[in-house]
Amino acid sequence: MANKNPKLVDAGKPNLYRPMFPYSAFPTAVFDGQRIEYEVPEKIWITDTTFRDGQQARPPYKPEQILRIYDLLHQIDGGTGLIRQCEFFLYSERDREAVELCKERGHEFPEITGWIRAVATDFKLVSQMGLGETGILTSASDYHIFLKLRKTRSQALAAYLEIARAALDNGVIPRCHFEDITRADYDGFVLPFAAALMELAEEYDKPVKIRLCDTLGFGLPWAGVSLPRSVPKLVRGLRQIGVPSEWLEWHGHNDFHKVQVNAATAWLYGCSAANTAIFGCGERTGNPPLEALVVEHAQLKGMTEGVNYAAITELAEYARKELGLEIARNYPLVGKDFNVTRAGIHADGLLKNEEIYNCFNTQKLLNRPAGVAITDKTGAAGIKHWIEARYEIDIPKHDPRITRIKDQIDAEYAADRVSSVSDEEMFQWVRDAFGADLPPARI
């Protein structure tokens, strides 16, 4: 059980958890065998950091690009509050122009929030923009407090509380970003800091939110792992000292390929909000992908009436065409080949019953029909599926025109071809084989 009245431990030297984080080797997963039960909040939701952390992974977005992405997030949300907030940098003229453009839309969701360092000069930017909530960088680990900020824990805590109080004095909800929480001294700093914030919240009768930032992706989704790496225990300890679920938010990074499962795990153990970026595009290895969390939410809580799941596909098309984002072809949910099969035996299964090799009705939910890529492994069934997916036509598997196209494909690979057949080639070969019998293509 967590200490109900945690006290700050103002250590004389940093606690770097060397056995767990040796640096000269991969980090160690330490198991303590202490299990905890699930505590899924009644309501869970998504927040977005595309315009903050996402811009630390690429050239800055233009204001009009931010506006278009913001509109698409609103479109996916459909007025439901599933994508509840997004955060913005406020430092440059371009940043502030983007905020003003988005504010003019008047969308309830996603709510526009800011992000600042824990200094008074930054807070002035929040006041100038008229925002109701801002994130505040409040680094939690001794790696940051001792080695970067060159402060003691008590000095860091005092500075953090001062800027949080300034926000509350100005009617702004502070969202304290516990940077590097998965390497922080949980009992000696995290819990005492959180308890002090809850005292502020009680004093002002206003929410004070906490974002759990897994800055280097050290978080683990297993309840039996020791602190500070256990996501379940990080969330549960804050809940036990009285932090409401709706004031807790998870923010992860994908350094060890756990960004998605850690975000979902935070939901399962009492954290209402999961912070995301479109297609996982965040600093270094990226953040939890927004589109993945939208689908994860549907799996945990059921499909939400009003959410426009198909707009995820529209967002991906915009990102590819207008933002120059390279989405891997096999990337889940939005990659060009995510629901495309190359094996002939799989294509035959698709023809008999699409559910055999398609994970859900991708046409209905994402406006993405299941597809077949043409290679030497595709076979007549795959060619038939490819043609029928693009033309209003039903053809038998052993139609001689299918055989003609298959013979052309076989000849290509007999001549040492190694690449898949392009759609342009297939369209030409189909026109050659079917001639006047071919109706207009649908796609």
Per-residue pLDDT tens digits for 362-390: 889 998 887 777 888 778 888 888 888 78
At 198, the amino acid letter reads M
How do 173-178 and 45-48 pair as beta strands? unpaired
Domains of the chain: 45-322 (3.20.20.70), 340-437 (no CATH)
Please state, in angstroms and rounded to a whole number, the distance separating the CA atoms of residues 265 and 223.
9
Please state, in angstroms and rounded to a whole number, the distance separating the CA atoms of residues 164 and 19.
34
Residue pair 146/183 in contact by the 8 Å Cβ criterion = no
The string of pLDDT tens digits covering residues 132-154 is 999 999 999 999 999 999 999 99
| Collapsed DSSP state (helix, strand, coil) of residue 77 | helix
In the prediction, which pLDDT does 354 show? Answer: 76
Strands (E), 227-285: 248-252, 273-276
Please state, in angstroms and rounded to a whole number, the distance separating the CA atoms of residues 282 and 160.
25
Higher pLDDT, residue 257 or 363: 257
Of 344, 329, 337, 335, residue with least CA distance to 413: 344
Cβ partners under 8 Å of residue 24, min gap 6: none
In the prediction, which pLDDT does 429 show? Answer: 93
For the record, the structure tokens of 393 come out as 């036509």
Higher pLDDT, residue 431 or 353: 431
Cβ partners under 8 Å of residue 221, min gap 6: 231, 232, 258, 261, 262, 264, 265
| Cis preceding-peptide flag for 110 (omega within 30 of 0) | yes
Look up residue 376 and give its DSSP letter: T
Using only C-alpha atoms, the chain has a radius of gyration, in whole angstroms, of: 26
At 209, the amino acid letter reads K
| C-beta neighbour count of 351 within 10 angstroms | 16
The string of pLDDT tens digits covering residues 216-251 is 999 999 999 999 999 999 999 999 999 999 999 999
**Residue 374 phi, psi (nearest 5):** -95, 115
Beta bridge partners of 372: 341
First vs last Cα of the chain: how many Å apart? Answer: 59
Inter-CA distances, 31 with 182, 183, 222, Å: 15, 16, 9
In the prediction, which pLDDT does 57 show? Answer: 87
Of 131, 127, 94, residue with least CA distance to 112: 131
Look up residue 190 and give its DSSP letter: I
Residue pair 266/235 in contact by the 8 Å Cβ criterion = yes
In the prediction, which pLDDT does 1 show? Answer: 45
Highest mean pLDDT among 206-210, 411-415, 417-421: 206-210
In the prediction, which pLDDT does 346 show? Answer: 56
How do 45-48 and 83-88 pair as beta strands? parallel
How do 45-48 and 248-252 pair as beta strands? unpaired
Look up residue 337 and give its DSSP letter: T
- Tell whether the model's pLDDT for residue 51 goes beyond 50: yes
Residue pair 222/228 in contact by the 8 Å Cβ criterion = no
| C-beta neighbour count of 62 within 10 angstroms | 14
Residue pair 426/374 in contact by the 8 Å Cβ criterion = yes
